[in-house]
Structures are given as C-alpha cells and as structure tokens.
Amino acid sequence: MIRAQAARLLGTPVTTGWAAFLWVVGAVAVPTAIRAAVNGVVTGCEFTPYLPFVLIAALMLRWWQASIVALAAVGIMGGLFEGTLANPDACFIPAAEMFLASSAAMIAATVMGRRLIASFLNHDLDEAKGGAVFSVENGEVWVSWYGQGSPLRLGTQAKVSEMMRDFLAQEELGKRLNGKS
C-alpha cells in the first residue's frame, strides 16, 4: 500500500487544477516582492530570489507549469527591474540565459528523479504475481496494474463495494444459466 501511494505521488503532480494556477502565481509573485523589497540594495540582474521557487514549482507542479514560472520570472525581471524587454540592461541577456539554463536543469533533474524513483518502486513488481491491485485511501478505492502507469480512482469504498457485489452476482448467475457451478 505504501509503495502504491509513493508511486502515485511520484507519477502525478502534487497540485493540479486551480490550485496549480495559484501555485504558479505565488511562485512568481513572492520572489518578485522579495526582489522589489531589496531593489535599492541589490542592483543588476539578480534572478536569485526566483531560483528556489522554480525548484518548488518543479516538485509541486508539472514540468511545463514550472517552466511557466521560469519564463514569467524572466519577463518580470526584464520589464519591471531591468528597463524594458525591448531595451534591457547589458547584464540582462546573459543573466536571463543563465537563469533559464539553471531552471531547465532543476526541472529536468526533478522529472528524471521522479522517473528513477518510480522505476525502483516498480522494479520487482511482476504481472505474473497478480493482475489488478486494489487499495483504499481516505475512503476512496484505487486500482493499479503491475508495471503500468499511475493508479486509477474507482470511486468511494461504498460505491465500489456495491458494484463488486453486483459483478459477482452477475457472474454467478451466468454460471448457473450456463449449467456451470
């Protein structure tokens, strides 16, 4: 059960939907506020406040959403702190390139790390040991198949139990009608 939960956590992003959108906005807004607060003290093309937020976004969101955080940071730095995007400071282009390369490396390392850990978790699982595996978490029933993708949510435990009883009753009826016991 713990391996299934770990595989589910690693195989899917932690945050999705509107919550993911809010994470993206927050991952850009918070370091922008930090950068604005130190703007008189720190001068030049400093992307440093954005780096931890890109890493957190890579861990919490999908890779493309974390990439949006990095690209938005470059846009904000170029337009808000470093003149305009059309006429940036001399240091802006090399600093933006270095920031984007660092962000891409963090995002790629996160994606590859997730895949590597997930492959270790699924390494000794073999379909010959069994087909579908059912698990219950917080009253929800999940099904997974050995060596396959992420677990699939079937529904509440009460609803799935009702469906399974119905399925078994139909199977028994089919056997009786066919003369097999």
Q: Considering only CA atoms, which of 41, 46, 44 is closest in space to residue 90?
A: 44
Dihedrals phi, psi of 131, to nearest 5 degrees: -90, -105
Any idea where the domains of the chain sit in the sequence?
Answer: 2-121, 127-177
User: What is the Cα–Cα distance from 70 to 65, expressed in whole angstroms?
Assistant: 9
User: What is the Cα–Cα distance from 88 to 78, expressed in whole angstroms?
Assistant: 6
- In sequence order, what E strands does 104-175 have? 132-137, 140-145, 152-156
Q: According to the model, what pLDDT value does residue 46 have?
A: 76
User: What is the Cα–Cα distance from 70 to 110, expressed in whole angstroms?
Assistant: 15
Q: According to the model, what pLDDT value does residue 53 have?
A: 94
Mean per-residue pLDDT pooled into runs of 10, the chain (181 residues):
62 76 92 81 74 92 93 83 65 86 95 81 57 85 76 88 92 86 59
